[in-house]
Amino acid sequence: MATMIYTLVLVFFVVNVSYFGKVACDNSALGASFIFGDSLVDAGNNNYLSTLSKANIQPNGIDFKASGGSPTGRYTNGRTIGDIVGEELGQPNYALPFLSPNLTGKALLHGVNYASGGGGILNATGRIFVNRLGMDVQIDYFSITRKQFDKLLGASQARDYIMKKSIFSITIGANDFLNNYLLPVLSIGARISESPDGFIDDMLSHFKDQLTRLYKMDARKFVIGNVGPIGCIPYQKTINQLNENECVGLANKLAVQYNGRLKDLLAQLNDNLPGATFVLANVYDMVLDLITNYDKYGFTTSSKACCGNGGQFAGIIPCGPTSSLCKDRSKHVFWDPYHPSEAANLIIAKKLLDGDKNIITPVNLRQLRDL
């Protein structure tokens, strides 16, 4: 179950490392990919938590070639957007989950994945899953990694490597609405006591502090996705008994409201944090186009989950061994009630890599790499 699609944001580049010296001095090398966020980019951290939000069960990962089709903890049938982008930019290895026992030594130089299914900007978000890594905890974990880089490369070279060569990708925010403010029953008290404006104020105040905290630990290149059309995912359509071409208005309205304020926040941070570049990925418009014009992209449905159970759109019960499974996974925009299929991820990743300023601004991912 985890977090749903949408907040998107991307994962990235990683360097082709053959030995420490090359990492420290090769100006053409890409640096580490540091990935923060929710289930859209979780590569397996939740495998190591006692949580209700897990994807290390079949048939998740059925098309993930690196594992031979075995589940890895990714909430999709194959690669995440981050995996695809990394491959396109020459990444030799995927960034390992922070909680993985294999994350030692040179593996750190490819970057680290801190993302967690169910995680959000606010610490209360995702409590329905019992355990998850919220954004504050993910940054706590990065502070550990930051010290490890000093030991690996020396303080001066580590700072240069992180500031100039590394990318910080952040995919967060959708859960704060879907698994916090809009959560049936549990959130009624919060909605009575706090207006949408007040809740979004709280989110952005926390997010500003979190991004500034990363900046103080030498992060300089950021890519941040806004919240997508969360009212259009199979889960929302199913529980609200909507027709195929309908979406939940309140959820999308909250996303649009948040996105406008996020754009202003990132512009402010670009002005006020010297040397930093905050890139905004317009996930909302990009994914809404994919959902609305799915047939143009070669899909047969953008409403029904390929893997799931319950209701007209298989949108209630998360993907698992007893789920119904579609025959052609490449024809579904959504893999499960919340997350895109690998086929959808491929389309989104391409737009993020090479898109114009209507999709990603002020630069796209190839351009951000070369700054």
From the list 201, 185, 182, 260, the residue with the least C-alpha distance to 227 is 260
How many Å apart are CA 170 and CA 286, to the nearest integer? 17
Catalytic residue among 33, 39, 116, 323: 39
Catalytic residue among 110, 206, 332, 339: 339
Could you tell me where the beta strands, DSSP code E, fall in 53-122? Answer: 96-97, 111-113
How many Å apart are CA 275 and CA 1, to the nearest integer? 38
Catalytic residue among 38, 42, 83, 336: 336
Element spanning 346, H or E: helix 342-354
User: In whole angstroms, how far apart are CA 146 and each of 45, 136, 304, 348?
Assistant: 18, 15, 42, 30
Whether 330 is catalytic is no
Phi-psi bin for 124: left (phi > 0), alpha (psi -120 to 50), beta?
Answer: alpha
How many Å apart are CA 243 and CA 237, to the nearest integer? 7
**SS3 (DSSP) at 260:** helix
How many Å apart are CA 123 and CA 110, to the nearest integer? 28
Whether 39 is catalytic is yes
How many Å apart are CA 342 and CA 10, to the nearest integer? 14
Say which DSSP state 112 is in.
Answer: E
How many Å apart are CA 264 and CA 212, to the nearest integer? 15
Active-site residue set: 39, 336, 339
